[in-house]
Amino acid sequence: MPPFALCRFALTVVFLAACSIASEAQSAFAARTLVHKNAPEFVRTGLDHKRLDLNAYRGKVVLLNFWATWCAPCQVEMPTFVAWQNKYGQHGLQIVGISMDDDPALARAAYRKLKLNYPVAMGDVKLGDLYGGVLGLPMTFLIDRHGEIRAEFQGETDLNKIQSQLQSLLPSR
Amino acid sequence: MKYGRIPQLAMATGLGTLALLFGSLQCPAQYTPTSGPGSALSIPQAQLIQPEALNHLLQTKGTEKPLLLQIGSHLLFDEAHIPGSVYAGAGSQPAGLQQLQSTVATLSKKKAIVLYCGCCPWNRCPNLGPAFKQLQDMGFTNVKALYLADNLGTDWVAKGYPVERTH
């Protein structure tokens, strides 16, 4: 092999290896957005010790909210979610909370203190992965009656925006 | 004649590599510090390091690497963390600060340390301020905090910077 070809081959290998390492590190989070995809199914035991099966809410509009007690914006949102569950529950809204706290005791205390009127279960790495990697809170998904994710909200979000979208998914009254 | 293309190829490859390394550089996020004891906003701007600068530092061969400490949620650390970083306890919890103290107990006070969290928006992070203060109180003189404006997902992972997972 001529020296030039050898040099070109070596440089190409180095370049491709660099690309490969970068892409491998990112592969777990490559397809991050889940909008317009079916909501990944999961079954957990809720903080109320009842079975929490996302599939059981098919036919309802589900607002799936990942939160934690250390997440200040989450604490701002959750009383509003309680109000929405009261207001829209009879029209087909079901809010589901997933706590990403390390300590379930903290989540249970918040569950009682905030008087949450919707099911909450503890999250884990597996559930975070299912939803594209929950790498910052709050994170909220709006799932339509057919189980398709219609919107995803990351970080502090204007609650009016979420409300407007969830209203559009509920049957007209 | 044909060997005359080698410098051109080397230059093109070098530029390609530079583009790969710095391609995702963006303007630093706007940061307007305000007072707030215990909050991330209490960390002086001079002690912040931007994601692109840290990534560059970590990727540059031959430079001394800082000790990277994640001082937020363990679950989020398990999901994704900056390669080489160590989980050192949640800065907002007394037990977390004790863990941080133990983690750095035997280190030189001049050791370069970068704290990061990325649990939630910078101005809402409950962990960085207390952790930073803890290290200052212990006498560490070379501590920086990684400025993640929104969270680790948006400001590190989505920019293509390397991550690793515990599981």
Query: Closest chain A residue to B153 measured between Cα atoms?
Result: A135
Assembly ipTM: 0.79
Q: Tally the domains of chain A.
A: 2
Q: What percent of chain A has pLDDT over 90?
A: 77
Domain count along chain B = 1
Predicted structure pTM score: 0.80
**CA A98 – CA A96 distance, rounded (Å):** 7
Residues A52 and A110 in one domain: yes
Which of A23-32, A149-158, B152-161 has the weakest average pLDDT?
A: A23-32
Determine, yes or no, domain membership for B163: no
Domain membership of residue B162 (yes or no) is no
Same domain, A7 and A37: no
Distance from CA of A171 to the nearest CA of B (A): 34
CATH number at residue A88: 3.40.30.10
Which domain range does residue A100 map to? 31-169
Please check whether residues A10 and A52 belong to one and the same domain: no
Tell whether B86 is covered by a domain.
yes
Residue A103 φ then ψ, to 5°: -110, 115
Kindly compute the dihedral angle of the four CA atoms of residues A100, A102, A107, A108, in this order, to the nearest 10 degrees. 130
Q: Out of A22, A74, A135, name the one closest to residue B152 (CB).
A: A135
**Residues A108-135: tens digit of each pLDDT:** 999 999 999 999 999 999 999 999 999 9
Q: Note whether B79 contacts A125, CB cutoff 8 Å.
A: yes
Q: B132: part of which helix (H) or strand (E)? A: helix B128-137
Which CATH number characterizes residue B76's domain?
3.40.250.10
Domain match, A38 and A7 both: no
Does residue A11 have a pLDDT over 70?
A: no
Cβ neighbours, 10 Å, residue B86: 13
A16 and A46 both lie in a single domain? no
Please, are residues B6 and A4 in contact by the beta-carbon 8 Å criterion?
yes
pLDDT band at A14 (very low <50, low <70, confident <90, very high): very low
How many pairs of residues across A and B have Cβ atoms under 8 Å apart? 121
Block means of pLDDT (10 residues each) for chain B, 167 residues, are: 41 40 30 53 96 97 95 96 97 96 98 96 94 97 97 95 89
Whether residues A16 and A95 fall in one domain: no
For residue B48, give its domain range.
2-157
